[in-house]
Copies of this chain bind each other. A is one copy, B any other.
């Protein structure tokens, strides 16, 4: 499978690591060989129809910051869209930064790849939260696969879980913790009794919160994931503007202490149901499946037969998130054999 990897940040580098680590395993178990024929970052691209060496890509990125420095195959200042025209490939893996204003560049890259009859795998949330239906319909019209396991919950395999493990069950609603940064902040506030501001700063120092933490702490990231789950699992036609969102920036250590004394924790919960698309802080019982700490994500599916089933996993991480991308690639491969 020839892959154009659009974006070479943490997740993109994770994809290269996973390909390097697992190529033998994939050949043996699935007869699948993943070949990187193009990789882009903000500096440009590296393109080679014969395949790029993932380890060399990682080395050059780490040493020079630019994939365009790849020997012979590097091209400076080339646009992602143009890269897709310069090389023959089967699947675009799109891991550019999430943009919730207009979904770009992910949106244009995805539309082009799909129109060119290529399969697409993404970890991006922006274009899905804004244009889910349009993009899915376009993929159907073109008869290609469009997969996005990594876009919700990183390494937590919530989409595969909902679609593959419970056949015969109807999923009625979902309640989950879909943002690791806020879960880390609330967990630390609970354990240490520290203030929101203090804990946010700590999270920023650890690289768990970004310099501008708005998307995480105001619940926008969780809302994007809410849209993706609503559309893909519950068939609810919605976009980001349909989600009611309240963040965690007004949660005080006093509120957390009060809850704790009564056996509760405060968590930023996303509710996905036909009646409610909502991201907001809620009380959850200690020792319930909702009471996971640190940067973990979780989602509980309410079903008609199996009652409540829950999946928990790491919401972020380079190789961890790339493993969700790998599962999409393998599923595409298997469906085409």
Contact = CB atoms under 8 A, between A and B. Distances in A.
A73 B172 CA distance: 38
Contact of A168 (B26, B304, B312): B26
A292 B286 contact: no
Q: At the interface, is chain A mostly helix, strand, loop or mixed?
A: mixed
B292 A265 contact: no
Contact of A165 (B26, B157, B190, B326): B157
Nearest to A325: B168
B170 A166 contact: no
Given A287-B286, A289-B292, A309 B157 contact: yes
A265 B287 contact: yes
A202 to B, nearest CB: 18
Interface string A150-175: 00000111001100111111100000
Given A18-B168, A30-B167, A286-B287, 7 more contacts: A21-B305, A157-B165, A167-B327, A167-B331, A286-B286, A310-B311, A311-B311
Interface of A: 18, 21-22, 25-26, 30, 155-157, 160-161, 164-170, 187, 190, 265, 286-289, 291-293, 296, 298, 300, 303-314, 317, 319-320, 322-324, 326-327, 329-331, 334
